Amino acid sequence: MGNSWSARSLAANLILGQTGFDTKEEPETCMSIRGQVKKRELILVNTPDLLVPNMSQYKLTKHIETCRRYSAPGPHVFLLVLQPETFTEEDNVRLCRILECFNERPFDYSLVLLAPPTQGAVGVRANYMDRTDRTASEDMVKKCRGHFSFSKNTKQSELLKQLDILLDIKGQRVSSDTFVDSTTSDGQVSGSAYRIILVGKDEEKKIRIGNLVVGQSGTHFQKQTDKICVVTHGEWKGSSVTVVKTSNFFSMSQETIKEEMKTCVSFCEPGPNVLLLLVKPSSFNLKKRQTLNFIFSLFKEDAFKVSMVVRTHDERNCSSVIQLIEDCDAKQYNMYENDERTLMKKVWNIIRDNRGAFLTLADDIKPEPHQMRPPLNLVLVGNRGAEKTLAAKSILSKTDLLPASTSSKCVKHEAEVCGHWLSVLQMPPLYRKPPEEVMEESFRCVSLCDPEGVHAFILVLPVAPLTDEDKGELQTIQDTFGHRVKDFIMILFTVDSDPAAPPVLNFIKETKEIQELCQSCGGRYFVLNVKNKMQIPQLLKFVDKKRESYTTKTHANAQTEKYRKLQEENQDLKLKKNSTSK
């Protein structure tokens, strides 16, 4: 945070060791960059100017919530990047108030970075250091753990040393609990703060309550054609949320329920700390109660302690529901209220009252250690939004994904497919976009695949002649991600009929441009009938042959290589100019 975007971005870029933030153009929202620095995972959150006098309290609160979300479960350090000659007493007061929104003692975690003087104010730094009267910057320095003056020539190691000094003193993250005071000594929750399993018969109601829980911050559940367990993630007031939507246990055999519950618990490790039991008050009969009792018997702990009844309809409770609510210690929520805050407060109370306790499966039904195959991260690229969406729907067996064309940002979808935990990212077209937008979106895409990295960049095309946009998109991807990306690109041709039909195969084999394109990607291509789910295991097996991945480190190396080539080209141009002038 601080009073100069260019200074904040300069400091962040020095820490990263690369140009991650544009020092000239200030965005209207917080930006976050994740990368490897000296073998450590680092997340830098850069705020817009929060010290603007006329900023509304609502807007300021939104920015603070975004900062919390990007640094969840909490930041280790506040870097206060100050331009001393323009940092006023009003700025000082405003910055103190903002910091206190995070914690009661934020200055224990704060380091002041004094920016170099702006043009025309070269003597200010010396005057600032020599003055005996108290300035706003000096007041902030005295409040914080330390300060450091930097410039564009400052070495990365010098800044990292200052961070290490502060981390050695404090070590832990800043606490920013939402519903309880930050000094509360209640039990701490490991993993996602909220790990919720939804149990119920009505698919639509489970989707609605799950999407209410993750709110606008997470990926929403979609209607499923297959009866499978699905997980999604979101955030609530800076805390991470995992929601697992079960299939209809009430129509399964006991053996099938056991297998399904293994999968559900594996999706919210180390175990769920809340069970939401969706019941229709007038039709929750004795048979359903017996099924629920069997589900609860699969856990070592008393599942009723972490369970809450969610009434799906405004109806009179039958005797079975009255007894169930009593067994859950009167914990209930009326779904028709549709109040996210009320629901999440009740969920938090369950976690707090149980001091973060969670459910674990009984020893005889725990999943085998090698049951799940390694996760796969696939990035769908290309200029054809409709084809990318069709491919994503087919791979994930989801029918209601939003079209890629509706978002200018990378969209991530997740599901368990063929024994893999599968992430499919739909990247927006990069061709003809401004360089800074291409850089930001490409890095964001790779970051979303951390820590495993990207296993395949899949260029999605129809079986049709290539357009200039198709060629430009591939070239932009190769230029942006560097020469190593060619090892991870494959072509996916989408059809809605027989992929082995002679017209399809002949077009691919006999079209010169298509053959050249396939050869440039190492001959890796696959023809997918988007209506045939039987091909998906074959496609994933095709991708899974190569267990290497493209990571944020690979991306950083690509940008360094690109910068070096640009310098060499500029040097060649200068030499040619000089030789011509002679």
Indicate if 223 and 359 belong to the same structural domain.
yes
216 & 158 share domain = no
Domains in the chain, number: 3
For 446-466, b/e burial (b = at least 16 CB within 10 A) is bbbbeeebbbbbbbbbebeee
Residue 206, in any domain of the structure: yes
Domain assignment present for 188: no
Give the pLDDT score at 122.
Answer: 44
Q: What is the mean pLDDT of the chain?
A: 81
In a shared domain, residues 126 and 82: yes
Highest mean pLDDT of the ranges 36-45, 80-89, 259-268, 442-451:
80-89
pLDDT of amino acid 241: 84
Q: Is residue 87 situated within a structural domain?
A: yes
pLDDT tens digits, residue range 94-136?
Answer: 888 888 777 667 888 888 998 888 765 444 434 444 443 347 8
Query: What was the pLDDT predicted at 445?
Result: 87
At 538 the pLDDT is 81
Would you state the pLDDT for residue 461?
95
Q: Verify that 149 and 13 share a domain, yes or no.
A: yes
Q: How far apart are CA 396 and CA 423, in angstroms?
A: 9
| Mean pLDDT across 13-34 | 76
Inform me whether the pLDDT recorded for 217 exceeds 70. no
pTM, two decimals, is: 0.39
Mean pLDDT of 373-393: 88
Check whether residue 154 and residue 30 sit in a common domain. Answer: yes
More confident residue, 167 or 174: 167
Let me know whether 302 and 434 are in one domain: no
Where residue 68 falls (left for φ over 0; alpha for ψ -120 to 50; beta otherwise) is alpha
Residue 92 and residue 203 in one domain: no
pLDDT at residue 436 tops 60: yes
Which two tokens mark 218? 């997470």
Kindly state whether residues 12 and 84 are assigned to the same domain. Answer: yes
The predicted-structure confidence for 256-295, as pLDDT tens digits, reads as follows 899 889 888 887 878 899 999 999 998 898 889 999 999 9
Considering the domain architecture, whether residues 403 and 472 belong to the same structural domain is answered as yes
Q: Kindly state whether residue 575 falls inside one of the protein's structural domains.
A: no
Expressed as residue numbers, the domain containing 165 is 5-170
**In CATH, what number is assigned to the domain containing residue 208?**
3.40.50.300
- Is residue 185 domain-resident? no
The mean pLDDT value for 501-514 works out to 92
Task: Quote the pLDDT of residue 154.
Answer: 87
Residues 149 and 204 in one domain: no
Q: Is residue 277 part of a domain?
A: yes
Q: Is the pLDDT of residue 180 over 70?
A: no
Asked if omega into 369 is within 30° of 0 (cis), the reply is no
What is the model's pLDDT at position 465?
Answer: 94
Is 557 within a domain? yes
**Does one domain contain both 354 and 387?**
no
Using CA atoms, how far apart are residues 323 and 329, in angstroms rounded to an integer?
Answer: 10
Domain finish residue from 137, 155, 170: 170
Whether residue 577 lies inside any domain: the answer is no
Same domain, yes or no: 520 and 388: yes
Q: What is the pLDDT of residue 369?
A: 44
